[in-house]
Structure 1
Amino acid sequence: MTPTTTDVTHRLVPSPAGRIHLVEQGTGPLVLLVHGFPESWYSWRHQLPALAAAGYRAVAIDVRGYGRSSRPDDAAAYRLRELVADNVAVVHALGEESAVVVGHDWGSAIAANSALIRPDVFRAVGLLSVPYAPRGGPRPSEVFASMGGDEEFYVSYFQEPGRVEAEIEPDVRGWLAGFYAAFSADTMPAPEEPEPHFVARGGTLRERFPKGVLPGWLSEDDLDVYAAEFERTGMTGALNRYRNMDRDWEDLADFDGAPLTQPSLFVGGALDASTTWLADAIKAYPTTLPGLMSSHVLDGCGHWIQQERGDEVSRLLINWLDSLGS
């Protein structure tokens, strides 16, 4: 019988954060799955049983600040180096010396930096939605502040503690539904409508979300899972990842321009701004990802790629993992 997510094992393991909650399924070579914003281990619900059935030990974590993992109070505790240390701790807590790491959205950056900083632990890296771009250029805050003209880029909007939390808190479930819909292929605003990555001065992000519609990949029950987690934990731990981009830029100075040399995979959505805005990063892959073995941009797909195209992404992951060998 094909495994389902009812066959998973939930576990808490020690990490520099305190604890990391993970969900595990299958046996074989370890594949660590790292989600993005605003998600959880549940984002990998399609991949966990598929990878397990293919002969892999699939482990999806709640990133520091999410779900049942620890949520440090200090915003600086969410810098990339700290999240890399969590990933290393998970691998060792599971009794392994090495793993393949796969990430989506912010998880893609966490996965890439895990492989960059700890190549002794992470032997291969899969990147979903957000391409790899080496550290470099001006401070991220300066770049984001220059975007949007009279409007404010969402990353800048997220910087001030409490600001976007105040927008979300009155209706967490509704905000999440709108955020997911805004960047899904079947529900995203038309090109002539206001861009949901930007906020009008004095406005809110929510104003530009689609109203009263869920994307095809997200059931009411799925939304309930996400909403229940964030209603319990609040959003600050998740948002603190955005509040460390300048710290990351400083922390990673020794890796300025560094290529990611392990065997790698990239899968993006053709309708995802992460793919289109960062097209130059993808073009640079021969230099920045010299170990790239497989690269795919899925037509008609938005940002939530492993949920929008669960079976297809699982197949691409398995084909790539099989090519790596154990």
Structure 2
Amino acid sequence: MNNFEYRRASDTKDAINLIHQQEKSKFLAGGTNLIDLWKYNITNPTSLVDINHIAELSEIKALPDGGVRLGAGFKNADTAYHPIIEQQYPLLSKAILAGASAQIRNMASNGGNLLQRTRCYYFYDPEVPCNKRVPGSGCPAKLGYNRIHAILGTSEQCIAVFPSDMCIALAALDALVNVEGPEGKRTINFADFHRLPDDRPDLDNTLKPGELIISIDLPEKGFTTNYSYLKLRDRHSYAFALVSVATAMELDGDTIKDIRIALGGVAHKPWRSKEAEDFLIGKNASAENFSTAADLILKDAKGFGHNDFKIKLAKKAIIRNGLMALNPDTQLPGAKPSA
């Protein structure tokens, strides 16, 4: 690790000013992913701007429209166990608790969760080329060992996946991301925050240089009755998703009035299909209809050899999670989804 300067920001404006004083400055919140990137020589900041003591970033509060604002500096664990989140947004709580380990959740911040970088093995190996790490150098994952890689939204440049669990639930909930930078404040729809790789896989999101995530707004509708988060992984403890699914529904009897289905572990960003969701509205919440919706979501899916299994796995996960959402109690250990 290189030498660096540590500076502590007093408020958001101070943090933004400090980050611009040195070219290779980084904001420091939980630092859980930053340290990984630093150890592998992927980032080498010359200055860290500590934002942990900014009150505005460390709160959860109700909004006038009935929604809730999550401070970007609030920790993942504190968010998941907060009474408002557990009661009004249980899908989000379950998704957060499915991620990482308890120790990491205690340190990781909400804003940092949005900014995680891929866990692609080639990205972390400086001895091999990687378009995400060094644009234009190549993507060995396409012809190499690619078991954990993307099946949707890939490009010729990159097939890496986005690793977050929390963000899959935020995508399903249609959250908003509030940011502030040298040009002022703006709000980004969650669907527009993360990018597909296209020809710039080195850019993970749509933040402008020097912008800081201030908060995340959740809408009033939290889907408290019918929801489920399913994470399929190689081991139950501390593993990233091969495929994950967040499902949130509003039902009228057995008929679907509203539904959101977001997938993780399959693309460069949380993945949703409006076509599939529109198909399900007005239909019965049945395995047959979830199967058809899964086909719509995965119609453009493409495997690269070692990850071909993800296409079938994702379809089964979508169907299973839709049935689990009919009765969230089925998410308890040992429980079986409704038929």
- Which category describes the TM-score, using the shorter chain as reference length? under 0.3
* Structure with more relative contact order (C-alpha pairs < 8 Å, separation 6 or more): 1
Structure of larger gyration radius: 2
TM-score (norm 2): 0.27
Q: Which has the higher helix share?
A: 1
